[in-house]
Every structure is written in structure tokens, then in C-alpha cells.
Structure 1
Amino acid sequence: MRNLLAGLALVGLVAGPIAALAQDTKFGQLGQELPTPNTYRTASGAPGHQYWQQRADYNIKVELDDKNQSLTGSETITYTNNSPDVLTYLWLQLDQNIFEPNSMSNLTQTGTVQDKMSVQAVEHLTREEFDGGFKISKVTDRSGKALKHTINNTMMRVDLPSPLKPNQSFTFNVDWKNKINDQKVLGGRSGYEYFPKDDNYLYEIAQWFPRMAVYDDVNGWQHKQFLGSGEFALPFGDYKVSITVPSDHIVAGTGELQNANQVLSSTHQKRWAQAAKSDKPVVIVTQEEATQAEKNKATGKKTWVYEAKNVRDFAWASSRKFIWDAMNTNVGGKNVMAMSYYPKEGNPLWGQYSTESVAHTLKVYSKHTIDYPYPVAISVHGPVGGMEYPMISFNGYRPEEDGTYSERTKYGLISVIIHEVGHNFFPMIINSDERQWTWMDEGLNTFMQYLAEQEWERGYPSRRGEPKDIVEYMKSAKNTQTPIMTNSESVLQFGPNAYGKPATGLNILRETIMGRELFDYAFKEYAKRWAFKHPMPADFFRTMEDASGVDLDWFWRGWFYTTDHTDLAISDVKWFTIDSQNPEFVNAQRREQQNKAPQTLSQQRNLQDIQKTLVDEKPELKDFYNNYDPLATTAADLQRHQAFMKNLSPAQKKALDSGLNFYEVGFQNKGGLVMPLVVKMNYEDGSEEVINIPAEIWRYNNNEITKVFITEKPVVSFTLDPYLQTADTDLSDNSYPRRMAPSRFEIYQQQNRQQPNTMQRERSTSRTNGGGNSNSAQ
């Protein structure tokens, strides 16, 4: 609807509210929610001048029993107390104890029995118990004297013979054994895979030794029990690990191999040297050599020695099935070896994409955080679908037996490698507490994964990162959601909550709220400040604000501390033009509107049915008013206008003659989550304009606001969030005039799940038509 604004009364309308409403908590500062700054962690989000962290150095010897799928190990740990506190005991993590039959994890699992259950489901419920967990045989001090220790589920307390004072170290030993789980049956973050066709095993070994828990200024000892979801909090240290395996096994491990001349043939050493100078993957152990090793199993043993400096953990993989390739990657002027280990079952997919994915990840992540500091980065293919450790990751996805693979498998492989290798940065280097806050590593890493995927290929089919992809989760039932700021073991809908939602939030910050320049600078500052340290949520929140100069407390509060969702709407639009009070212009405009006004149905029919009215038949009934034109301009009208104009300043006269359009647009916040208003205006001449209004527009009223837009050209439509930037859950009310939001239903036919992938189908078609063999999978 178009209205005329009288004179200059518009000024008060544009200025906004005269008195602000009481500030709502949506824009309140995160005061009570965040810990008080101190000398360890500052109000800016940086480590304080008295920041400290503990250190744990390891010397480990372990032997793999390939016949019985078990490990026997011994370790010497030197623990250094850099805190200002005196410690009377130490806590270690015994993560393998999650596999004990009576573990807290097993006892607290919930489930249901259905009226109809598959054979596989029943088998899973009734399978034979796995006697897993650490069998601790000895805990002694440096001299071999037994130390009192207490095992509490997945944690072990070691009582010190005398208090450990600040700046002192204590060295002790632990001996243990444990069985390796069949990962395909029991799941888990490590384990073995058995290949019945060639009667061989592939081992991915992690959480395999008693590890020091974190003692810090926030929690004291982080000894929250491991139940399966909340991962790990670990201190940094140096590792020397000696791994004894069958002599024909190839071993990948955290760190650098120290005795290559003892465990590698001269041919393999030459290929390694070649790979160290190559910008393309060089095969060190070929598929033919691995296949030969599968057939002719050696009976001897070899010990591989790895060393790693300033890491928080150590993992390794071993198999005679491994193909091994590597290439050099230059990161910030430093050479890094990107490597992959995989069985023949992974080819051709792994040989083509794995190591290139590793190298790509290092470059993109380094650009946005810090230069990758370690000498190697490894991707291993085995039973674990995706898991990360310093310098080494375990990744799934393999092609079909005929070498073909689906598009989903291809991009699934690239994405999981980017994600798991990316975890070197979050949390292996920027070492957050995963046991408490999954989002600090998974969410930040998923965001970085999205950036790396988009640099891999134009239009890369990323699963997470875009606001539109989190909508279904955001509008799901509230009783199935938890805030992001929920302990790792209590999170509902783990993937969307801990991975997708925080990653999407960071993307919204980068693209819509802060802009790329401010966001990228602040995000990189966070990485630099907390590299090789233990950040907490407040450190991230505060650094992002401190380095950008943007108050984001409203965003952290809404996106991280609540389950509110974005649902903004355009409620109404009113169109105004200025009444210049020039009678000639105003009357002509009114006459035009009058002529364009539609006739009612009765008026249209009366023109047909009533040939003459009484006045038409008897003109003598007409008087002054029958001949009066209310829209005609008189001399008196012109005199009044001239008198009015004399009292105006030049600026006021210009405003009256501007011909501007004024649109009063009403907005509603239906979802509770305040967000910027991204408004697109489509003009009458076919052009368009997008205006990004900060979320602070909601600070006086979180539910309903109006905004006046002034344009030179008439607007034909308004669209809210036109580029899907804010994860708005209902687009049907985002336009004015209203437009129907597209939806769809799917018509499908019940199909066999084992459909051939596109590559397989095309190859089959090519052979049927007499074509040659396709090599597209090579």
C-alpha cells in the first residue's frame, strides 16, 4: 500500500525509537557464564603471564602378537610438575578398559528389544564377551620399587612416595598386556581387521598404553571417566617408542623412523629418498610387494623405533598388507612428508587420492592457523572409519572388489582424510579438552574441513558447513537437542551438535556477521595463541572478540548456550512517498491513482445494465458539485504552496522534491535466535540491492522490529536471507509479496541396496556395447 507523508513529519519516523526498552538477556554480556580472568588466562583470551602446563615424556617398548592379536608393553614415564601446586598422586587414563565386560560404558548402554529383529541384531546382543582392558602387571618407581596404585574403571591413580613439588619431575614404570579388539565386531577407535581371503591382519593401534591425564588450572585433574563419546585430554611430551612386529610387517607411527636401515630394504630406502624430493606420490612399498608378503609370511621379528617431539599422544599401524606411498609437501618453507599406508583392497582409490588429500589439508589448514610444525603426516586405511592422532590418522572408504567406486565413496574418502589429518591442528596442536568439550576440536575442525574441501574442487559436495545443511537439525524437536556447551558424554544428536552446528556457526560468523577479513585474522590469532597449549571455550570466545573488535557475546549465547533456532520473517511492508504539498503535482498524482483504481463488480455491471441515470435524463438536477473537480489546482492552492515554500531551508526544499520512496518493513523473530537481517530489494527496473543489517537491530526488542528503507527507485519485492546465510528454518515468510517456498515429495521404487555404482554401470554398458575397458578408476 502506498501512502503520502505530509511535509517533513518523516524525520521522526526514520530516527528510530525515542526510548530503548530494557535490554534482553540475548544481548547481555557473557559475564557469569565465563570464568573470571586471572594470571593464567586473561580477559583478552590469551594465555596469562603465569600460564603453566604439565609435561609427560615416554619411553615405550611394545610387542605385537600377530597370532593372538594382543599387545605386551612396558613404559617409563617422566612426569614434570610445572604447576604451582604440590601433587601427592598422579592420574593415568586406561582407555582400553572400556572393553571390559563390566565397564561403566557397557553397563550404562541403553537399548530396546523389537518384536522383529534381524539375525545380525540378535547376534550382536548375544555375542561372546570380549575380555578386553588393560592387565596391569606392574607399577614401579625408577628403582623398581612397587608403587601403590588404584584402578577406577578407565582411570588409575598412582600414589607418589613423596609429594611432587613445583618444578620437580617423577619417573615411574608401568607394565601391561591387553587384547586387541576386532574393530568390525566391537567397534572402537582402534583394533584389527581380518582378511579371510589371504588370512592376514591389519592393525590400527591407539589408546594402547596407560597415558597421563591432564592436570590444569581449570579442572585440576581431568579424570572424567571415558564412556565412549568424550575423547581425550592429554599433556605434551617427547616419545620414544620401540615396536616389535613380524619381520615382514610395515609399521606407520607417530613421529620419525629412527632405524630405517635396520627395518627397510635398500630398495625401499632409495624410494623413500626419492619421495622426499617429489611433489607427487612415490610408491615405496608396491602392491606387488605387499601381495607377495601376504602369501609368504615371515616367521622372524623386527623392531621399528619411532621418536616424536612435543606431541600429546602416540598411535601406530602394522600389517604385511601395507602398500606405502609418500611425497614431499612444502609448508611455510619447511618440508613435510605426506604419506599413506593401505592394503590392496584400497586401490585404485587410495593410490590416487589419499596422499594428495594429506598434502592439501596441511596447506589449507596452515594458511588459516599456523604452519604445520611436524615432519610427517600420515593417512592409514583399515577398519577404523575415521580417527586422529598426532601425525597419523586412520581412515575408511574403499572401492568395490572390481576397482570401481561410487561418487559418494570418492568424496567420502577425501573428506574423511581432510577431517582426520586436520585434527593435527585441532586438538593435537591447539590442545583442547575433548573429554569435556567435543565441539572445540570436532566443530572447529569440521569448519576447517569445509574450507579445505571448497579449495579441493569447485562445487565440492560438502556435507557440513553451509547454513542450509543444518536447518533440519535446528528445527528438530527441542527434547532431542542439547546446547553445544554440553559435556561430551551428554550430547544428543552427536554429529549435528558437536560437528555440524559449531562448524556452521563459524561459517555464519565468517560470511555474514564478521566478514572474512576480521574473522580470518581472529581465528588465526586464536591458533597462534593456543598452539601447544590447553585452551578452554572462554579462551576461544574472548580471542575471537579481542582480535576482531566485534562484540559476539549475543552470538555465543544464542548459538552455543541455547537450542534456539533462526526463524525470521517479514511481517508487513508499507510504502510511503513524500507529500511535497505542490498542488499541481499532488493533484495529478491523486488523479492517476483514481484512474487506476479498480471498479467494483457492481460498478462494472451497472455500466451495462443502467443505460442512463436520472441526472443524465434530467440535467436540471445538476448543481455546483456535479461540475466541481476536487483535483483541479486553483489559484488559492498555488498561493498557499508558495507561502509554505518560503519558510523552508534549501535542504528542506531538496528533500521535498527528491521523489524518494520510503518503505517501512516489519520483521519478526519467531525462532528466538537473533541474527543479522540480510535483505534483498528487487527494483521496478529489474536491478537489485542487498543490505546486511547487524543483529544488534534486535537489541531493543528481540521479537518484533520495523526498519525504514529509503530508495530512489520503487521496490517491487523484499526477500529476507536470499542467499541462505543464517540457517533460517522457514523460508515461506521470508518474502514480500509472499512467494510459495518450494518443497517436494519423492516418488521412489523399492530397490536393491546393492546397486552398481555409476562407474561400474558405465563399464558394464561399455563392455555390452563392445567398447574397450574403462580406466577411469586408475
Structure 2
Amino acid sequence: MRQFLLVVACLLTVTGYAQDIQNNPASNHGNKFEQLGTILPTPNEYRTASGAPGPKYWQQRCDYVIRCTLDENGQKLTGSETLNYFNNSPDVLTYIWLQLDENEHSNKDNANYQDQNVMPAMMTDRTLAKMEDQNGPDNGFGHKIRSITDISGKALPYTINKTMMRVDLLTPLKPGQRFQFKIDWSYKIPDRVTLGGRGGYELFPEDGNSLYTITQWYPRVCVYSDFQGWQNHQFTGRGEFALTFGNFDVQMTVPADHIVGSTGECQNYAQVLTPAQLARYQKATNAKEPVEIVTLEEATAAEKNKSTKTKTWHFKADNVRDFAWTSSRKYIWDGMPQLVNGKKIMCMSFYGKEAYGLYRKFSTRAVAHTIKTYSAFTIPYPYPVAQSVEAANGMEYPMICFNYGRTEKDGTYSEATKNGMLGVVIHEVGHNFFPMIVNSDERQWTWMDEGLNTFVQYLTEELWDNKFPSKRGPAWTIVDYMKLPKSQLEPIMTNSENIVQFGPNAYAKPATGLNILRETIMGRNLFDFAFKEYARRWAFKHPTPADLFRTMEDASGEDLDWFWRGWFYGINPVDISLDSVKVATAEVNGMIPPAKSVTRKIDAPMVPEFDDLSKIRNREDRKIAFYTDEDTGARDFYWRYARGQEPYDSTKTFTVEQAPGVEALTPDAKQQFAGKYFYELDFSNKGGMVMPIIIEWTFSDGTRQIDRIPAQIWRHNENTASKVFVKNKAVTGIRLDPFRETADIDESNNVWNQMPAPTRFKAFAQKTGAARGQSTGSNPMQQAQKK
């Protein structure tokens, strides 16, 4: 039964997230501000309505012991791994799914999801080779599984389905049990520059050396979760990973003159570094600025004299979701520490001479700045090292990432190259937090990885240099994307493989949305507290979009469902138009309106219009006694009036004097109105996305003022809104969204510079109204007494 409920819940989750369910699509209200209860999955004992993990939250774990050898001459990697898989779920498992990402490069075992293409105007030899490779003989790439056995050596049956592999268990794995098994494998290392992808080698023809990025390289266990079961969606190269946390013990044998950077901490620097390099490393651990551990001179010399021997580097990493490494004799290596909450984090960079002019000056400093800043906005960085590798790339793994940024041969570089390099280092190092620690499902919801990280990247860039030209995060930078025809757009809440405009949708729009929440809707204090709470709750766990949405509201006290609905589930842009402006001043000496004589009819008895079934049955039920029948003292004029015992003449009228509800202003009240200008602004929501209205007033003396109207002004009419403002000075100009903070796609309808001639309205003092419950109406009792 539980398995059935789990399947139903997953279906509801997937289908629900894909729809922006409207309560009344034909209405001008009640849709955009409706709660997300019909869209989000139902809270349960694993994930609460507050957005926090539930009392029975669980997740799986897998520890790895890996031994591998890099064959530089044959461009081959051979490995053996022992996996220790812990079933912390309440379910019995009969098989385990693993990811074989290197099959992406195989023309036989790849995901086989092909994009459309057309005949090009010209074609390169590389394009031709790729097209022929798709349907040609086996190109030899991809994981070659040599054996899979349990810990006793007994063979385990397995099935490879494209980029996924199912290992069948000989005995079901019950809740609370663990299972150890071993996989021996190898694969041909691809030329990453030619074939694409994240892992592989880059050959430098001028010196005959390669730079290796060994990523997504070992068979990796898929996530098995409460909300989805096995996440075994095929790897197409776009949607990244969902991975299980565990401890890693990895030894990699490489050419003896290679320098290795890796996830985790090295266990044998004393054996693999020269005494001089080891001394520099120890000096770097206490330095105030980056220290070269392997110098430019050493790296340049190593390029020319290749060693034929090997060395084995040994690394360990605890509580990480993945493991990656790099190896090359080309590397210069520098480092320095960064303190986070009193803990020393070793920040390091690896780069060839081609990047020396940029990376020597900026890379490790940017790593340190990123770790410090992200820690301030989320949780303290929990790992001992953080590393940046220049690999003409941009990809992240725990404690290590691969970036780009090379200089001209003379060491100079353009400003765009420098800023791009800084941006990618911050972005990729920042991925340590999202999704390496706050471990969302990148394969399904790319934006939870890329969008959240791009947002904090923007905050970090802003704190690097106030003039830094951030391209993603500020609201105005998303406008061109939001202007696109709706046929080219999809909601942020879209599976990664279905996205057409991948960068704007998965990176920029969610980052912009979070920045709008922080600066315009919630304010920094509320937002920052809630965002940190989300990171704290879901560190080293597997959050879903609902967990983020609910936590942000739970920790801030802000109802943000309208924003999630519009910005994340919808594709409508922001376009708020200032349609008209009316101006008025007060006439404070107006004559009091005279009392009015009003002719009225006598009110008819207040009796039910219809003798309903309950009244009939109550009369017929002899067991029921009505109070006014038992106690005649409870009867009055109107009891008799309702029964015709007091006469009612429907033609009879009477005249009353109706005094005005206002009176003349006092001198003090006149002073309140003196010099006041009243402005009525009419707005229309042309884009469809509701948003706060930010108004900049320019006064006749040249001063300016900002008014901020919350988005709830659109609650009862999502299409139009009007608002009256009182100002102490005459206004000469009005502009909406002056700081370009709402991503308004049409600024031409945001400005009003021609003020109309003011009208006049009469101002009076308000008389004190009648007390609530005071006698009102025509009062037939009173009229009867006048006879």
C-alpha cells in the first residue's frame, strides 16, 4: 500500500509542479493571489508544511573506496571501486541504480536523445565527424564494466540502459541493512575540447602535454528518495546530477611529474611533493596572500621533461556527494587560508602558464572571498579545502571546480576576460553550497542548483567590487528574455531537458526573482533570515521546490504564494503602465450643504419572504414550545406588527430632515489641508505578472520622493488599480520603477511628465457618526405613536 501511495504522491508532485492551476481563469481576481495548496505536494511525515524535514525524514548513504590508474599514453582510466550502500529508507530494495555518465560519449550507450538539425551553410571537419559518429561503428567510449561482484566475490547480474546501470541484488536489501559490492571498470578518456562534456583531457600541441579533468568518472549510485524513488533519468549532458552523500577514500596513480588537485584532503603530500614544495605548502597554510606551492618555473620545466614513472596520490573526503580530480604536469599551484567561523579553510588554485597572469593574481583570492561571502548568506563552509582549476571550462564538484580565463601570450588580458574569469570562479566555487551541500535534484529542477547559486554569486560579485558588471541578478538584466514571444518561453518550474532558453530560464530568471524578493518585496532582513534558514534546514539533505517555497514563507511571515505562482510557475512578464494622472486641491471654505427633506414609506414588517420547511415542521411539532408563546412578556410592537395585529399601510409616507454628515472645518483642520496636492494615479497590469508599484515623484523644487505600494494592491483586480496620494508640494513628473527593480519590460509607459490642471474639491470636517446599533430605519413604532 505504501508503494502505491508513494507512486501517487510522485505523480501528483510531477504533474502539480508543471501546472499553474487557476481557480477562476475568467475572473479578474482570485487567481494570481490564490494559495499554492492545489499545486504543491501534500505535506507528510518526511516533509512538513513549514518546509522543514519531517520527523521521519530519511536519505540513503553510500561510501566509496576507489583505486584508479591514469594511462597518459593510452588516454585511458582504469578503476576498481568498493561501494558500501546503506538502506536508510523504510522500503525493501531489490536492485540499485547507478549512473554511467561517461556513456554520454559512447555512440552506442548514450541517452540517444537527439536534437533537430538542418543542412548548414558550411560544415567543419569536426561537425562531420560527430554526424558520422552518431550512426557509425562503436567508437569505444563509455564505461566498460569488467565485473560486478558482492563482497564475497559472487557475480551480480546487471543491466546497462544507456547512461544508467541497474545492479540486481541476490538478496533483498531490507530497511536498516547495508550492502557492499565491487565494480571493476575502465574507459577511454575523451578529448574534452573536441567531443565536449565535462570530463576528459585537453591537449596542448605546442608542448605535447595534457590537462585532465576527471569528473563523473566512476559508476555513481543514484538517489533513492521519499518523493521520487530512484532518480534514474537519463543523462543527456544538460540536467546534471542527483547524488547520495557518503565518505570517499580514493587513490589515483598518475605520471610522477603530475600535480593532482582533488576533492578532499591529501593524505600523503610528504610522499608525492618535493621537500621544497611541501615546505611551501606548509607556509601557504598560514599566509596572508597566495603562496606558490608549485612555481611557474617548476611547471614550465616539467612540461619539457616528461617522467616515465608514476606516483600514487591518496585523498579522503567525508560527507560529500561526489568526487572529482585533476592531473597535469602543467600546473602551477598556489594557496592561502580563509577563516570561516574560526575554522581555517585552505583555498587553492591550479593553472597552466597560459592562465598565469590572471589566476596568480585573482583565482585563490576569489575562492577565499566566495567561501567567506557564501558562508555569511547561508551556512558556514563545512569542508577543509576549496579549489579552483583553470581548464577552459566551467563545472563544479565538492571542494573543487573547473573554470576558464587565459591571457594573451604576452600576459595581458581584456576586461571582459578578467570579469568573466572572476564570475565563473565565484559561480563554480559557490556551487559547493548549491547543490553540493544543499543537495537538490539538478536532473529535475536545474534552477534549484543554478538559479539559487547564481543569486548568491550576484551577492558575492557585488561585495567583490561595487563596480562589478554582474550580468545575472539585477532585475533590468532579465528584461530582454521576458520580452520574448511566449512560444519561446517556459516556466522556471520546467524539467531541464525541456528548456529552450536554458541560461535565462535556469540561471538568470530565478536569480532575478530572488533578488526582487530580497530588495523589493521582503526586504533584506526578512529575506536573509529566511534564506539562511532554508540552507540550515536542508544542508546535507535533498530539498524540493516546495521545501524552499514553504521555508521562505515560514521563516519570514510573508505570504509569497503570489510571487512563486507568477515568477516560477508562469511566463507572464512585468509591465505596469501609468495610464492617467488626476490632480486636485482642497476648497476649505465651502458652504455646508443644507439639510434635505426626504419622503419615505413606512417599513413593512420584517418577516421571512418564504415559509421554509423547518418553520413549518417546528409549528407542527407539538413537542416544540416557542419562547414568545410561553412568556408573553417577550412580545412587543413588532411581534404584533409581524402578525398584522398592528396596522401596516403600504401607501403611507412621512417626511424626515436629513442633515449633512459634515460640518465646517476648524482653523486647525483648514491648516491641515492648506498647501496639499492630491494625485490620483490609474495603473494597468499589461504584462500579467503582479508586482509592487514603485513610484518616484519629482517636485517643482527639484526634489524627489519614492513611494512603494505592495503587490497586494492588485488582489481584488489583477488588471487595473487606482491610488490617491497626498503631497505637500506640486509634482512636475512621475516615474514608475525608477531603479529598474521589477523587470518591467516596457519603460515607455512608466513616465508622466505633463501634469493636468488641478481640479478643486470641497473639504469639510467629519461629524461624529451614530453609535453602532443606534435605531435606524423608518421606525414604524414611532410613526404609530404619532396617531
Same fold, judged at TM 0.5 (above)? yes
Structure 1 residue 688: Cα displacement = 1.4
Q: Deviations over 1:192-240 (max 9, x none)?
A: 0101111111100100000000001000111111111110000100000
Residue 568 of structure 1 is matched in structure 2 by 576
Q: Partner letter of residue 401 of structure 1? A: K
Structure 1 residue 363: Cα displacement = 0.5
After superposition, residues 658-677 of structure 1 pair within 5 angstroms as 658-677=674-693
Distance 2:156 2:33 in 1: 54
Given that residues 389 and 402 in structure 2 are in contact (C-alpha distance below 8 angstroms), is that contact kept between their aligned partners in structure 1?
A: yes
Distance 2:663 2:159 in 1: 92
Distance 1:540 1:186 in 2: 37
Q: 1:100 aligns with which of 96, 106, 111?
A: 106
Distance 1:486 1:695 in 2: 25
After superposition, residues 202-601 of structure 1 pair within 5 angstroms as 202-383=211-392, 385-582=393-590
Q: Partner letter of residue 243 of structure 1? A: M
Residue 716 of structure 1 is matched in structure 2 by 732
Distance 2:708 2:402 in 1: 43
Please state whether the residue corresponding to 1:26 is helix, strand or coil.
coil
Structure 1 residue 131: Cα displacement = 2.5
Q: Partner letter of residue 477 of structure 2? A: D
Given that residues 382 and 396 in structure 1 are in contact (C-alpha distance below 8 angstroms), is that contact kept between their aligned partners in structure 2?
A: yes
Q: 1:681 aligns with which of 688, 697, 712?
A: 697
Structure 2 residue runs of 5 or longer lacking an equivalent are 1-26, 592-658, 756-787
Given that residues 201 and 319 in structure 1 are in contact (C-alpha distance below 8 angstroms), is that contact kept between their aligned partners in structure 2?
A: yes
1:294/1:645 CA distance change after superposition, 3 Å:
closer
1:103/1:112 CA distance change after superposition, 3 Å:
farther
Distance 1:311 1:338 in 2: 18
Structure 1 residue 292: Cα displacement = 1.2
Q: 1:53 aligns with which of 59, 63, 66?
A: 59
Please state whether the residue corresponding to 2:38 is helix, strand or coil.
coil
Distance 2:378 2:566 in 1: 26
Q: 1:41 aligns with which of 38, 47, 56?
A: 47
Q: 1:86 aligns with which of 92, 100, 115?
A: 92
Please state whether the residue corresponding to 1:501 is helix, strand or coil.
helix
Given that residues 111 and 163 in structure 2 are in contact (C-alpha distance below 8 angstroms), is that contact kept between their aligned partners in structure 1?
A: no
Is 1:77 aligned with 2:86?
no
Residue 625 of structure 1 is matched in structure 2 by none
Structure 1 residue 107: Cα displacement = 4.8
Q: Partner letter of residue 99 of structure 1? A: H
Please state whether the residue corresponding to 1:31 is helix, strand or coil.
helix
Distance 2:354 2:454 in 1: 28
Residue 65 of structure 1 is matched in structure 2 by 71
Distance 1:324 1:180 in 2: 24
Structure 1 residue 333: Cα displacement = 0.5
Given that residues 113 and 236 in structure 2 are in contact (C-alpha distance below 8 angstroms), is that contact kept between their aligned partners in structure 1?
A: no
Structure 1 residue 259: Cα displacement = 1.1
Distance 1:119 1:192 in 2: 20
Residue 163 of structure 2 is matched in structure 1 by 154
Structure 1 residue runs of 5 or longer lacking an equivalent are 1-20, 584-642, 740-778
Q: Deviations over 1:359-409 (max 9, x none)?
A: 0100000000001000000101124x2000000001112001111110001
Distance 2:59 2:129 in 1: 47
After superposition, residues 6-25 of structure 1 pair within 5 angstroms as 23-25=29-31
Distance 1:335 1:69 in 2: 37
Distance 1:645 1:712 in 2: 27
Answer with 123-132 or 274-283: which moved more: 123-132
1:88/1:120 CA distance change after superposition, 3 Å:
closer
Distance 2:415 2:390 in 1: 18
Given that residues 732 and 754 in structure 2 are in contact (C-alpha distance below 8 angstroms), is that contact kept between their aligned partners in structure 1?
A: no
Identity over aligned pairs, percent: 57
**Aligned length, in residue pairs:** 660
Q: Deviations over 1:122-179 (max 9, x none)?
A: 4554568742110011010000100011111111111111111111100000011101
Please state whether the residue corresponding to 1:98 is helix, strand or coil.
helix
Given that residues 222 and 233 in structure 1 are in contact (C-alpha distance below 8 angstroms), is that contact kept between their aligned partners in structure 2?
A: yes
Given that residues 84 and 178 in structure 2 are in contact (C-alpha distance below 8 angstroms), is that contact kept between their aligned partners in structure 1?
A: yes
Distance 1:208 1:116 in 2: 35
Structure 1 residue 737: Cα displacement = 2.7
Please state whether the residue corresponding to 1:455 is helix, strand or coil.
helix
Please state whether the residue corresponding to 2:535 is helix, strand or coil.
helix
Q: Partner letter of residue 571 of structure 2? A: T
Distance 1:208 1:552 in 2: 41
Distance 2:754 2:202 in 1: 57
Structure 1 residue 662: Cα displacement = 1.3
